[in-house]
Amino acid sequence: MLNYLIPFIIVILIVVFIHEYGHYYFAKKFGVGVTDFSIGFGKEIFGWNDKSGTRWKVCWIPLGGYVKFFGDRNVYSQADHEEISQKYSEDERKKLFTLKPLYQRSLIVFGGPLANFILALVIFFSIYTFVGKDFTPAVINEVEKDSPAMIGGLEKDDIILEIDGNKVKSIMDVSKFITISTDDIIDFKVKRSYDEIILKIKPKMVLGEDNLGNKINRRIVGIKIGAYNNQINHVKLGPTQAIFHAVNEVYFVSISSLKYIGGMILGKADTSQLGGPIRIAKISGQVADIGLLAFISMMAYISISLGLINLFPIPMLDGGHLMFYAFEKILGRPLSQKTQEGFFRIGMFMLLSLMFFTTFNDLKDLGLLN
């Protein structure tokens, strides 16, 4: 149990801290008073006050965090400015989040997800610079008999150039692109002798195991991949190339995640792979056993997911704030308190439904539910 719990807590503490620090950074930049910076919820374990009066604390439930602003009663309400002006002194009004210009409030809210994306960029940049990135061309060593690959026309010694329009830059890209595809047909662009051809392969779904031994539904085409000319091309990148590929990886993961979520909504993607804290904890422990590099890479992917999810236009998330600010910009005034509360209830229902669904999947993954 501790093998899962400790890596999970480390990941959550770092990723959540970075997220909340993004809010904190822009709040301080624009002169907003910050009363609390909390990692976790519930009763405080330990904490301290800094010179500006912010209480930095760690709480018992490590499933998130928050930054609380001075005078902030309800982060979704936009209280009457005249009422606020009468309640606080002139110096205090300068520290109120609700009285800041719209663009400053938007940047403060967006700062959290932005920090998560920056963390992922820093991790990928560091890996590509100091460890290296694989650029080994992928060649088909074997095509299984009567497999989707054989039926679709793939052959031994084909060099895979693209999958669904995504350039295959290394062996590892092949399984990644097949896994994230949600279409019934996968387009393979291969080089055969001197020709480049596009073949349409219809994968089949089978129950198997991932690299960590977890049961998953896998899309397979029936090929075995090897290195072109049996030569591994793993190189350390310079700063310019490293940042280029880091940005590309963050972009790819974000777009792929959105496509996957869209696929789930349309009923095309496998919803059984959607997990919550229990599954994240399990995978964190498994990846930590593999090594530090794999663990740090996983942290980058979780950070991207946290940043992306928080941008969804759901009240209670950062995207919910930004949605309200978009309405405020369009209408020239904030939405009424009653309207915001209506959105809030919808958002609460959506998040509780998602929590229930992911917990259900987690318990099935642990074998506690049939």
pLDDT digits (tens, 9 = 90+) for 309-340: 899 888 888 998 899 899 888 888 887 777 87
Pairing status of strand 186-192 against strand 195-201: antiparallel
| pLDDT number for residue 38 | 93
- How is residue 116 written in tokens? 């998560």
Amino acid identity for residue 161 in this structure: L
Report CA 281 to chain centroid distance, whole Å.
15
69 closest CA partner among 85, 83, 52: 52
CA–CA dist 297, 123 (Å, integer): 7
- Return the pLDDT at 76: 42
pLDDT category, 231, cuts 50, 70, 90?
A: confident
Catalytic residue among 20, 162, 328, 341: 20
Confidence of residue 365 (pLDDT cuts 50, 70, 90): low
For the question of residue 20 being annotated catalytic, the response is yes
> Which of these, 101, 23, 90, 102, lies nearest to 310 by C-alpha position?
23
Tell me: the pLDDT tens digits for 39-81? 988 899 999 999 988 999 999 888 788 999 987 654 444 445 5
Cβ atoms of 260 and 282 within 8 Å: the answer is no
Q: Of residues 83 and 202, which shows the higher confidence score?
A: 202
pLDDT average, residue stretch 114-118: 96
pLDDT for 257 equals: 81
Facing residues of 149 across strands? Answer: none
Q: For residue 366, what pLDDT is reported? A: 47
What are the chain's domains?
A: 2-130+301-365 (no CATH), 133-235 (2.30.42.10)
Question: Across the chain, what does the average pLDDT equal?
Answer: 82
CA-based nearest residue to 233, from 160, 161, 141, 137: 137
Query: Using CA atoms, how far apart are residues 293 and 127, in angstroms rounded to an integer?
Result: 8
Mean pLDDT of the region 98-104: 90
- Of 166, 362, 151, nearest to 273 by C-alpha is 362
Provide the whole-model pTM: 0.83
Q: How confident is the model at residue 106 (pLDDT cuts 50, 70, 90)?
A: very high
184: exposed, middle or buried (C-beta count within 10 Å: 0-12, 13-18, 19+)? Answer: exposed
Q: Which of 70, 67, 108 shows the shortest CA–CA distance to 88?
A: 70
Chain centroid to CA 263: 17
User: Helix or strand or coil: residue 63?
Assistant: strand
Does pLDDT of 370 surpass 50? no
Is pLDDT at 26 greater than 90 in this prediction? Answer: yes
Rounded Cα gap, residues 360 and 9, in angstroms: 21
Q: Are the beta carbons of 127 and 100 closer than 8 angstroms? A: no
Identify whether the C-beta of residue 215 lies closer than 8 Å to the C-beta of residue 209.
yes
Alpha carbon distance 305, 21 (integer Å): 17
Most confident of 283-297, 303-317, 340-354: 303-317
Lowest mean pLDDT among 51-65, 68-82, 157-171, 254-268: 68-82
How confident is the model at residue 274, as a pLDDT? Answer: 56
Q: Identify the pLDDT of residue 275.
A: 53
Which pLDDT does position 128 carry in this prediction? 94
